[in-house]
Amino acid sequence: MIVKTPEQKKAVKQGMLSNVMRQFDNAADIIGLNSNIRKILEVTNNELVVHFPVRMDDGEVEIFTGYRVQHNNSLGPYKGGLRYHPTVDIDAARALAMWMTWKTSLAGLPYGGAKGGIQLDPTKYSDEELQRITRRFTYALGDNIGPELDIPAPDVNTNPQTMAWILDTYMSTKSPAERSTNMHVVTGKPIGAGGSQGRDRATGYGVFLNIKFWAEHKNINLKDKRFIVQGFGNVGFWAAYFLEKEGASMVAVQDAYGSIINEEGISVDDLLAYTKANKGSIMGFAGAETLDSSGFFGLDCDICIPAALGNVITAANASKIKAYLIAEGANGPTDVEAEAILLKRGVTILPDILCNSGGVIGSYFEWLQNRNGEIWQLDEVLEKLEKKLRESFTKVMETSVKREIDMRTAAFIIAIERLEETYVQRGIFP
């Protein structure tokens, strides 16, 4: 397990905000973004920090700090996940909220960007404590979230159960006549609580689809291709699951507990079953050997999928990467210096705002179903998801080729130009 010092954690969080701003500035410079619109997009609209007490199982009261940053809503309601992690703070929330604005814009969704969470390590709390923490956080957020204002979703260390608790708490603050009309205050809910078929796999399936689209574009067959995955949570599992179905082989996996490797391939389903029986950890899995985590990104493979946290591919390890394709399942996994090294070496990076946008598109489908009182079948959801992602991928690839730029810069340009057009057409109040 790789343990970061407080100073290293702080550097990662500051690095994420620096990364997103540099990515934005790079694209804005290329298109000559209107200076006034640039000023608007460089800052967040609203930043909420809440401190709230929660009674623990032993009767003691603990104070928690929660965040919600709303970056921009010119295209529609704020949209973005809530994460429970020790690295959550205002800078991390700002960076992630900005990425969500570009992601929703690129996907052509009627949403703006937001992000937030609670600064805690969820492994240190019981399920009952996490439920009380979540409900108290929801109450503290109050009317700062809402189905037509700001719609949270699952993120790192949160899941459908977390969303169900938020939904129930939020609805209980409304009058009985209004409750059913607030079902779409969160997405990523369990099916029985108004969730959508396919939302569980939407992000990972989207990562897989982007890899597949890229392979088609390059006339590459994914059969027998070797891939490694960092993070074997929801995103990492589903991306690996669909790649394995395509005939590719998962040869190594890393999570918060350590790293494992098997040159002959690791069964995705078997590893999932093992982690479910071992508190989420991949360590000790019989179908693989333990690997020194420091050498994970330097492993011999064709495709690398960082699907955990931000800033894990840096200038320190970029030159060791052997994969020729990096598919960003996480938000901000590659820092600016690392990207420059990788691009110079001819490595292709499928950027986060494109590659993992299947999650927010799936959330949009859930939101629509709740709003309209509809229930879509799984095949219908996956078909719509593939169509939407193919449109985005095609636009990014065409812009990349036409302008002779990397895919991240192309994705940012498309996202920023859509926002710029909105401001030009609507003007700025008053």
CA distances in angstroms from 181 to 67, 72, 362, 369, listed in the order given? 25, 24, 20, 12
Does the annotation mark 115 as catalytic? yes
Q: 351: closest CA among 5, 17, 23?
A: 23
Could you say which of 103, 115, 189, 388 is catalytic?
115
Whose structure tokens read 């700001």? 150
Strand runs labelled E in 125-223: 150-154
d(CA 51, CA 137): 9
What are the strands of the beta sheet with 348-350, ordered from one edge?
Answer: 289-291, 258-261, 249-255, 226-230, 303-306, 325-327, 348-350
Helix 90-106 to helix 6-31 angle, to the nearest 10 degrees? Answer: 30
Q: Kindly state the DSSP code that residue 266 receives in the 8-state scheme.
A: -
The SS3 call for residue 47 is strand
- What the block records as the tokens of 81 is 């996940």
d(CA 326, CA 350): 6
d(CA 1, CA 252): 15
H/E segment holding residue 370:
helix 358-372
Q: Helix, strand, coil shares of the chain as percentages rounded to 5?
A: 50, 15, 35
Q: 227: closest CA among 270, 256, 261, 200?
A: 261
**Cα 408–414–115 angle (5° rounding)?**
70
**Conformation bin of residue 231: beta by default, left when phi > 0, alpha when psi is -120 to 50:** left
What is the number of other CB atoms lying within 10 angstroms of the CB of residue 191? Answer: 12
Active site residues: 115
